[in-house]
Amino acid sequence: MLDDNMSIEDLLRFYMGKNTPDRQEFIIDNLKVELDIIEEDTV
């Protein structure tokens, strides 16, 4: 999606604009899941 020739206006339009199929695919491909590490107390 990003390249050196993209203008700031185009970049903002992509991130802030309508939820187009290209935008949906980009978001899905770049999803990150953060898992909380649960520390168990030893009793």
Task: Map out the domains of the chain as residue ranges.
Answer: 1-30
What type of residue sits at position 38? I
Q: For residue range 1-43, list pLDDT tens digits in order.
A: 667 888 999 888 888 889 889 889 988 898 888 888 777 776 5
C-alpha separations of 26 from 22, 30, 37, 39 in Å: 6, 6, 28, 34
What's the confidence (pLDDT) of residue 7? 92
> Do 14 and 1 form a contact (C-beta atoms < 8 A)?
yes
What's the confidence (pLDDT) of residue 14? 84
